Amino acid sequence: MAEVDDTKTWPELAIGLYDKLTGRGAQITYEFDDFDLYVPSKVGDDARHAHWNMDGTLKIRTKDNES
């Protein structure tokens, strides 16, 4: 796995987190109920934010079965 000095995008952050956790046989599970999310348009102090309101449940699960 390549070293990343400075994460600049959301995909880089997600890939890095997944690689580190699944490399240890970990499982990633997120559950959110009725929440507000402010999504930045870019990295930096001058980023604008889109407001998303989730009225319900969002579940994200990842599991890496080891051989």
- Whole-prediction pTM: 0.41
In tens, the pLDDT along 11-22 reads 788 778 777 776
Q: How far apart are CA 8 and CA 58, in angstroms?
A: 25
Q: How far apart are CA 52 and CA 67, in angstroms?
A: 39
Beta-strand ranges (E) seen in the chain are: 27-40, 49-63
Q: Which amino acid does the sequence have at 22?
A: T
- The dihedral over CA atoms of 11, 12, 13, 14, expressed in degrees to the nearest 10, equals 50
pLDDT of residue 31 exceeding 50:
yes
